[in-house]
């Protein structure tokens, strides 16, 4: 929990005849993070790189086919709970082609209906503007439209509809005259030549103005709306059809896509292999607890014709010297994983250092609770976070929801300690203090908390130095042992000055000696390290320059401690601001109540609380994260070159 997952470097040498079976096994188990041995191991640099790792054309084409069908069905490519297809691929491709036929038919029909809907919408808008309802309609051109009225033989009507199918129009039969039908055709003015050409080729005979009564435009508008209703019904039917197809084929398509991606990945990873004339070499990183399972799979694929070497990362000289980066996987229990979002936002901790997620979780919740201490607001955050963690689709959002739940619980706890429920402080007594009545105590607590955080950061930095065998750095670092002694003595002296208390002569002498000794050693840090490392020149840049640099660095340490400690005062300040905002909201509510009545007062209370929850909740979160990152992480955090990314994550991304 306090350190990253133990990792191992694995090398496997196997026969060229087994390369594809081994590649498939590596992809199937999914736990390896492959590396090119020639880039990390000097003894493998002369080996020939493996194949190019290009995806075969037939697999690429089938993969794109499946991805296209999933997009047509509006199915997200998420593989939670999905297993790769196990059936014969030839049979699977036959089923895929059959599914594609039915899906494409439905999609084509949907696209046709959508185009017709767009054309109908445009025509309807033109008709509404150009032909008010009830106005007699005669043939001719308008500002936006062209109108043709006439007769056509029943046998030619179907041919006319075919010729007009690619032109934005509406064709409405008016009445029947023997074997002919009187029709009206309305289209956009820009399409008038094409419409007349189609009419002429279909045997359409225009009706002169004195040969028939004018057609009321209201009938045309009703016809437009009728066609629109029919079209919308067809669209709804096709939407249901697509949902049915998604239910029928979605699982099959996702399983097949996962299988195809696995086969693609089995080819792509070949570029990480190195080879001789008859053998192949693969290398990678794997979590220590998973090594036996992975090795067993690969031995089975190679029919035990392989040589396996597994070395713990700490056992590699290059890792101990800092010359080789180890991918990092955090190993926190489930209840701490939401806080990994904050740790990852700063960076992944280096492999041989402490993972601060557990410390971050406790300190973040304490700071958030003090700055946002209200039981009512905490319950609101808790409920919001619970809904978010349950309903969010992405894992990141679910973890963020869980983080919000923790923040809500912390706010409730400190709300009880402060005796506040939606700003009302008369419902129950405060179990600790009321911020506005105990300002000095709250600020003192914030300073002591900040000092504790700084000491904790120094302690973690010292542990990191021990783990990396950097003993002199652990002693002389700006967050090292000497700095811790200096900070502690400064705190003791400062607290005695502020409180007016003085210790015994022996205690004062002891503290003064520790402070002076740590100051002198930090001041002379550079020449002391030169002497320890056996360098002849104790002052390589000159005595004056070295001493001036030591003075500046010592002052920087002192001022840094002062600034970092004072920075935690903002925890108390925002706690007071939270209580002060309640006072302002209640004052405004009382003022509105006298002028506008009880309803207005409740509106002010509700919206005021929502503003506090939203705006101050965001500000408080930012301040807590800032203190974690700059005042805590900044003293010890060493960022890893990269996180552990197994093949499984590439497969399902």
The C-alpha atoms of residue 366 and residue 378 are separated, in whole angstroms, by 13
**From the CB of residue 30, how many other CB atoms can be counted at a distance below 10 Å?**
18
pLDDT at 383: 94
Q: What's the chain's average pLDDT?
A: 85
pLDDT band at 326 (very low <50, low <70, confident <90, very high): very high
The CATH number of the domain covering residues in 139-213:
3.30.70.2750
SS3 of 151-162:
EEEHHHHHHHHH
Show Cβ contacts of residue 224 under 8 Å, excluding neighbours closer than 6 positions: 120, 123, 124, 127, 170
Q: Do 407 and 384 contact (CB within 8 A), yes or no?
A: no
pLDDT in tens, 494-541: 888 777 666 665 667 888 888 888 888 888 888 887 788 777 777 777
pLDDT at 210: 44
Domain ranges in the chain with CATH number 3.30.70.2750: 139-213
**Strand pairing of 274-275 and 279-287?**
antiparallel
pTM of the model: 0.77
pLDDT in tens, 434-472: 988 889 899 999 999 999 999 999 999 999 988 888 888
The C-alpha atoms of residue 274 and residue 277 are separated, in whole angstroms, by 10
In words, the CATH class of domain 7-51+268-320 is alpha beta
The predicted model gives 598-610 an average pLDDT of 82
The C-alpha atoms of residue 545 and residue 415 are separated, in whole angstroms, by 55
Read off the DSSP letter of residue 329.
Answer: -
**From the CB of residue 415, how many other CB atoms can be counted at a distance below 10 Å?**
25
560-563's contacts with Cβ under 8 Å and 24+ in sequence apart are 560/478, 561/454, 561/483, 561/486, 561/487, 561/490
% of the chain at pLDDT higher than 70: 91
The C-alpha atoms of residue 474 and residue 282 are separated, in whole angstroms, by 38
Domain ranges in the chain with CATH number 3.30.70.240: 7-51+268-320
pLDDT in tens, 172-199: 777 777 778 888 888 877 888 888 888 8
pLDDT at 10: 94
């Amino acid at each position: 929990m306090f350190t990253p997952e133990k990792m191992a470097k694995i090398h496997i040498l196997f026969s060229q005849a087994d390369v594809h079976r081994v590649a498939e096994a590596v992809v199937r188990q999914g736990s390896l993070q492959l590396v090119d041995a020639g880039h990390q191991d000097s003894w493998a640099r002369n080996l020939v790189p493996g194949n190019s790792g290009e995806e075969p054309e037939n697999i690429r084409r089938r993969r794109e086919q499946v991805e296209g069908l999933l997009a047509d069905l509006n199915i997200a490519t998420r593989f939670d709970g999905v297993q790769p297809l196990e059936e014969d691929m030839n049979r699977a491709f036959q089923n895929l082609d059959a599914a594609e036929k039915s899906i494409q038919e439905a999609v084509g029909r949907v696209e046709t209906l959508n185009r017709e809907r767009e054309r109908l919408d445009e025509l309807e808008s033109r008709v509404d503007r150009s032909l008010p309802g009830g106005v007699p309609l005669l043939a001719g051109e308008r500002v936006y439209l062209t109108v043709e009225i006439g007769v056509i033989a029943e046998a030619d009507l179907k041919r006319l509809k075919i010729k007009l199918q690619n032109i934005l129009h509406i064709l409405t039969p008016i009445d029947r005259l023997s074997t002919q039908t009187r029709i009206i055709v309305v289209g956009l003015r820009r399409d008038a030549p094409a419409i007349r050409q189609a009419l002429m080729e279909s045997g359409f005979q225009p009706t002169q103005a004195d040969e028939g009564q004018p057609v009321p435009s209201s009938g045309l508008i009703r016809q437009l709306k009728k066609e629109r209703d029919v079209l919308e019904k067809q669209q709804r039917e096709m939407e249901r059809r697509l949902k049915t197809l998604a239910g029928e084929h979605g699982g099959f398509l996702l399983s097949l896509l996962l299988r195809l991606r696995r086969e693609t990945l089995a080819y792509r990873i070949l570029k990480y292999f190195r080879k001789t004339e008859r053998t192949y070499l693969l290398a990678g990183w794997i979590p220590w607890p998973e090594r036996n399972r992975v090795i067993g799979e690969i031995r089975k694929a190679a029919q035990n014709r392989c040589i396996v070497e597994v070395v713990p990362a700490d056992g590699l000289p290059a890792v101990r010297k800092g010359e080789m980066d180890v991918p990092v996987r955090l190993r926190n229990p489930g209840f701490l994983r939401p806080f990994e979002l904050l740790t990852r936002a700063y960076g992944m901790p280096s492999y041989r250092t402490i993972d601060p997620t557990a410390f971050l979780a406790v300190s973040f919740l304490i700071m958030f609770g003090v700055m946002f201490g209200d039981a009512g607001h905490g319950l609101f955050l808790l409920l919001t976070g619970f809904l978010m963690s349950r309903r969010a689709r992405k894992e990141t959002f679910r973890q963020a929801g869980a983080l919000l739940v923790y923040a809500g619980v912390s706010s409730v706890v400190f709300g009880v300690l402060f005796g506040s429920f939606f700003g009302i402080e008369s419902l129950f007594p405060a179990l600790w203090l009321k911020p506005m009545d105990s300002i000095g105590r709250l600020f003192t607590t914030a300073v002591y908390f900040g000092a504790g955080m700084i000491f904790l950061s120094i302690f973690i930095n010292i542990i990191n130095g021990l783990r990396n065998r950097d003993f002199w750095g652990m002693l002389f670092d700006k967050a090292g042992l000497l700095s811790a002694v200096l900070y502690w003595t400064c705190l003791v002296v400062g607290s005695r000055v502020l409180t007016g208390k003085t210790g015994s002569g022996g205690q004062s002498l002891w503290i003064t000696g520790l402070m002076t000794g740590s100051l002198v050693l930090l001041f002379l840090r550079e020449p002391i390290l030169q002497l320890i490392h056996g360098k002849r020149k104790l002052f390589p840049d000159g005595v004056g320059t070295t001493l001036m640099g030591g003075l500046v660095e010592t002052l920087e340490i002192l001022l840094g401690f002062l600034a970092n400690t004072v920075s935690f005062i903002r925890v108390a300040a925002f706690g007071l601001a939270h209580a002060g905002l309640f006072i302002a909201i209640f004052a405004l509510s009382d003022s509105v109540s006298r002028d506008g009545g009880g309803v207005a007062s409740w509106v002010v209370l509700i919206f005021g609380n929502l503003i506090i929850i939203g705006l101050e909740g965001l500000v408080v979160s930012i301040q807590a994260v800032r203190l974690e990152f700059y005042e805590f992480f900044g003293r010890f955090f060493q960022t890893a070159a990269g996180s552990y990314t197994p093949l499984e994550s590439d497969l399902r991304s």
